[in-house]
Copies of this chain bind each other. A is one copy, B any other.
Amino acid sequence: MAVAQALMSAQSLAQYLHQQIALSRAMEVDALEVSEDSVRLSAPLAPNVNHRATVFGGSASALAILAAWSLLHVRLRGLFPQVSIVIQRQSTSYNRPIQGAFSARAALAHPDDWPRFVRLLARRGKARISVTSTLEYAGEQVGQFSGDFVAFDQH
């Protein structure tokens, strides 16, 4: 169940997001890190600023969703080239104001679920998995995201 050969570079991921998801361009999302275990995306304050000169909660959730979605995308694309991943539900908590460029680091909520998720996706063409993202600003955790995603193998 190795996925290493399927990973994208951070630069390719950022380009892909900008091409595919309009809001990621408007938010000026960048990809900082792509590994088998996590994806870390960042965005600057200016395009995401609110009335308090801090990051708008909708921008923070959107970055967390993008990081979580990207983790599934980079892990699955080598195994299921036609896979499509959609979000089913998410929750985000905002612990404190974010006053500058911020990031979201995504990881599987339960890494042990991965083999079963891939088996179900192969067998039934559809499977569900949970991903968490941690929002960070200036080296500190400033929020927490949890989302459930459904993958469809369109092959």
Query: Does chain B have a CB within 8 A of A22?
Result: yes
A59 contact from B48, B62, B91, B92, Cβ within 8 A: B62
User: Count the A residues whose beta carbon is within 8 Å of the partner chain — how many?
Assistant: 33
Residues facing B in A41-93 (CB within 8 A) are 46-52, 56-59, 61-63, 65-66, 84, 86-93
Q: Which of chain B's residues has its CB closest to A25's CB?
A: B26
- A90 close to B88 (CB less than 8 A): no
- A23 close to B56 (CB less than 8 A): yes
Whether A56 contacts B89 in the complex (CB less than 8 A), given A61-B62, A62-B61, A62-B62, comes out as: no
Residues facing B in A1-50 (CB within 8 A) are 20-23, 26-27, 46-50
List the interface of chain A (C-beta within 8 A of B).
20-23, 26-27, 46-52, 56-59, 61-63, 65-66, 84, 86-94, 97
A51 contact from B21, B50, B59, B97, Cβ within 8 A: B21
CB distance from A40 to the nearest CB of B (A): 17
- A23 close to B20 (CB less than 8 A): no
Question: Which B residues are in CB contact (< 8 Å) with A46?
Answer: 22
Sample of 8 more A-B contacts, CB < 8 Å, known A86-B97, A91-B92: A21-B49, A21-B56, A26-B26, A26-B27, A51-B84, A57-B86, A58-B66, A89-B91
